[in-house]
């Protein structure tokens, strides 16, 4: 699928959230119904191709794509959230940030053993968040059959953090 419209809409915001980071702002894509529809259709086609049984979205921008794609594919949606947000019993995975660590969680009953899960987020950077999400799902016994992102920052080589996994991205920057 041609994503030139989406690529043109993604906005670079220099020095956000801190100096030296160029933030890829997808809000203009969300505000453009044609582009957003193209993004959702592409992601839904991928989810069907890999025969996923559950869509897991990473907080918070992974919810924006993951939930409508799950509904479009008539699949369950599962949130992967920052630590302390999920109300029921959880499991936790830590991952490294530039300085320090962060943690994400899923409910213990989010997926069933053996289920095929696709993990979704807006952007693949270093892959640390996605790799922690894979560990969470695998600890619950699920099989991660794919990961999908709207944007890939190819120069950060996030794919190296996700060896052997099927990865789908729509707009790549090298």
For binding to ligand AMP (CB under 6 A), which residues are involved?
Answer: 21-24, 58, 61, 121-130, 158
Residues 77, 66 contacting (CB under 8 angstroms): yes
Nearer to ligand AMP, 61 or 168 (CB): 61
Select which of 7, 48, 98, 172 is catalytic: 98
Residues 65, 40 contacting (CB under 8 angstroms): yes
Nearer to ligand AMP, 23 or 32 (CB): 23
CA dihedral 81→82→88→93, nearest 10 degrees, is 90
Q: Quote the least distance from Cβ 127 to ligand AMP, whole Å.
A: 5
Select which of 61, 81, 93, 152 is catalytic: 61
Integer Cα distance of 3 and 43 in angstroms: 12
48 carries an active-site annotation: no
In this structure, are strands 54-58 and 167-173 parallel, antiparallel, or unpaired? unpaired
Q: Quote the least distance from Cβ 14 to ligand AMP, whole Å.
A: 10
Nearer to ligand AMP, 68 or 158 (CB): 158
Q: Quote the least distance from Cβ 114 to ligand AMP, whole Å.
A: 27
Cβ partners under 8 Å of residue 161, min gap 6: 126, 127, 128, 130, 131
Q: Quote the least distance from Cβ 159 to ligand AMP, whole Å.
A: 10
105 carries an active-site annotation: no
Which is it for the CA torsion 27, 157, 115, 93, positive or negative?
negative
Nearer to ligand AMP, 52 or 162 (CB): 162
Query: 56, 40, 77: which is closest to 170 by C-alpha?
Result: 40
Annotated catalytic sites, by residue? Answer: 61, 98
């Amino acid at each position: 699928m041609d994503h030139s419209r989406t690529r043109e809409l993604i906005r670079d915001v220099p020095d956000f959230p801190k100096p030296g980071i160029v933030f890829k702002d997808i809000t203009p894509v969300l505000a453009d119904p044609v582009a957003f529809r193209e993004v959702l259709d592409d992601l839904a086609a991928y989810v069907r191709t890999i025969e996923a049984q559950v869509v897991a979205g990473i907080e918070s921008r992974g919810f924006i794509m993951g939930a409508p794609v799950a509904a479009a594919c008539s699949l369950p949606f599962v949130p992967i959230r920052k630590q302390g947000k999920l109300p029921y019993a959880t499991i936790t995975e830590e991952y490294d940030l530039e300085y320090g660590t962060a943690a994400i969680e899923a409910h213990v009953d989010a997926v069933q053993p053996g289920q095929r899960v696709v993990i979704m987020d807006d952007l693949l950077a270093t892959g640390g968040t996605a790799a922690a999400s894979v560990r969470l799902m695998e600890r619950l016994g699920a099989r991660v059959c794919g990961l999908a992102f709207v944007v890939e920052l190819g120069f950060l080589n996030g794919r190296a953090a996700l060896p052997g996994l099927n990865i789908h991205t729509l707009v790549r920057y090298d």
